[in-house]
C-alpha cells in the first residue's frame, strides 16, 4: 500500500550549547494509508515531540516529513492552520469539546471554518453521527451528555473533515478502564470501518494492543517494532508486554 506519511531522518533538539536535549535523534518510518500505528515509549522518550513535529505544532531541527507528498516541514507559517484543518484530525486527552457549542456545532466547526456549504455540512455531520451512534445527542451541549458520548463526539469531530491522518496523544490517559475500552473500540472502528489512518501515541500497552503496528521509542530513537498481523488483540497485548520486559524502563503496566 502507498505510504501516506513518510518520516525521513528527523531530529529535534531542545536547548543549546552543552545543554542540549535530543528529544528526537534520527527517526525514520513510513505509515501507509489505512494503517493504525501505535507509538510507545517511556515518559520522556520523545513521543509527544514526534507527534508535534508531524502535526506541525513543533518544527524539526533536521529531516523531512511528507504527508501525501507534501513536505510539512516546509509549509509556511501563514499556511499552517489551513493545512492542519484540511489534512489532520486530532483526538485530545480531555476531548476539548467547546462547552458553549452543541455536539452538532462542535463536530461541524472545522467544516464551517473551511467554508463547506451548509447542506453538505448537514449531510456530513449526519452521516458521521449515524456511524458513531450519536444522532440522538446532536442538539445537546457537552455537559448534558455522558463521558462515552463525549468521546464519540470528539472522534466524530476528528474525522468529519475526512482528514488524511488522525493523531491521538495518550487519548486514554485520563480515563478509567471501561471508558478507555469504549474509546479504543471507537478509534478502532474509525480505522477498520471508516478507513481512517491513525497514529496514536501511548505509554499504555493495553491501548497500544488495538494498533496494527507499534514502534517503540527510547531516548528519541526507534528501538523496536511489532506487527500485529493475524494475532488476536490479547496475543498482541502479551507480545507487547514481552517487548517492554526486554526493553526495561519505566513503562507502567496498568492492566
Ligand X SMILES: Nc1ncnc2c1ncn2[C@@H]1O[C@H](COP(=O)(O)OP(=O)(O)O)[C@@H](O)[C@H]1O
What is the C-alpha separation between 255 and 253, in angstroms, rounded?
Answer: 6
> What does the chain come to in residues?
255
Choose among Mg ion, ligand X, none what residue 207 binds, the Cβ cut-off being 5 to 8 Å by kind.
Answer: none
Instruction: Find, among 53, 8, 5, the residue nearest to 33 by Cα.
Output: 5
**Size of interface with Mg ion, in residues (CB under 5 A):** 2
What is the C-alpha separation between 34 and 109, in angstroms, rounded?
Answer: 25
Closer residue to ligand X (CB): 153 or 202: 202
Residues 227 and 213 sit within 8 Å (Cβ to Cβ):
yes
Choose among Mg ion, ligand X, none what residue 127 binds, the Cβ cut-off being 5 to 8 Å by kind.
Answer: none
Cell of 51: 507527534
Contact flags string 29-58 toward Mg ion, x per CB under 5 A: ------------------xx----------
Secondary structure string (H, E, C) spanning 8-19: EEEEEEECCCCC
Residues of the shown chain interacting with ligand X in the complex, contacts defined by CB under 6 A: 14, 21, 23, 41, 43-49
Residues with Cβ within 8 Å of residue 57, at least 6 apart in sequence: none
Choose among Mg ion, ligand X, none what residue 89 binds, the Cβ cut-off being 5 to 8 Å by kind.
Answer: none
Least gap, CB of 158 to ligand X (angstroms):
20
Least gap, CB of 47 to ligand X (angstroms):
3
Least gap, CB of 210 to ligand X (angstroms):
19
Closer residue to ligand X (CB): 35 or 169: 169
Amino acid at each position: 500500500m502507498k505510504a501516506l506519511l513518510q518520516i525521513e531522518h528527523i531530529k529535534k533538539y531542545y536547548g543549546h550549547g552543552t545543554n542540549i536535549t535530543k528529544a528526537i535523534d534520527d527517526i525514520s518510518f513510513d505509515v501507509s494509508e489505512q494503517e493504525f500505528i501505535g507509538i510507545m515509549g517511556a515518559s520522556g522518550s520523545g513521543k509527544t515531540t514526534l507527534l508535534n513535529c508531524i502535526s506541525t505544532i513543533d518544527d524539526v531541527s533536521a529531516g523531512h516529513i511528507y504527508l501525501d507528498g507534501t513536505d510539512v516541514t516546509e509549509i509556511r507559517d501563514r499556511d499552517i492552520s489551513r493545512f492542519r484543518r484540511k489534512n489532520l484530525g486530532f483526538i485530545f486527552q480531555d476531548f476539548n469539546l467547546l462547552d458553549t457549542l452543541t455536539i452538532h456545532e462542535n463536530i461541524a466547526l472545522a467544516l464551517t471554518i473551511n467554508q463547506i456549504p451548509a447542506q453538505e455540512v448537514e449531510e456530513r455531520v449526519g452521516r458521521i453521527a449515524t456511524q458513531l451512534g450519536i444522532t440522538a445527542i446532536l442538539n445537546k451541549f457537552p455537559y448534558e451528555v455522558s463521558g462515552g458520548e463525549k468521546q464519540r463526539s470528539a472522534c466524530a469531530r476528528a474525522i468529519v473533515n475526512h482528514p488524511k491522518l488522525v493523531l491521538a496523544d495518550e487519548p486514554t490517559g485520563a480515563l478509567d478502564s471501561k471508558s478507555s475500552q469504549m474509546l479504543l473500540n471507537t478509534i478502532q472502528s474509525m480505522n477498520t470501518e471508516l478507513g481512517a489512518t491513525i497514529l496514536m501515541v501511548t505509554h499504555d500497552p493495553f491501548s497500544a494492543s488495538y494498533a496494527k503496528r507499534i514502534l517503540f521509542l527510547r531516548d528519541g530513537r526507534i528501538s523496536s517494532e511489532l506487527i500485529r498481523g493475524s494475532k488476536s488483540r490479547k496475543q498482541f497485548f502479551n507480545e507487547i508486554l514481552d517487548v517492554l520486559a526486554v526493553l526495561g524502563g519505566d513503562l507502567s503496566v496498568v492492566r
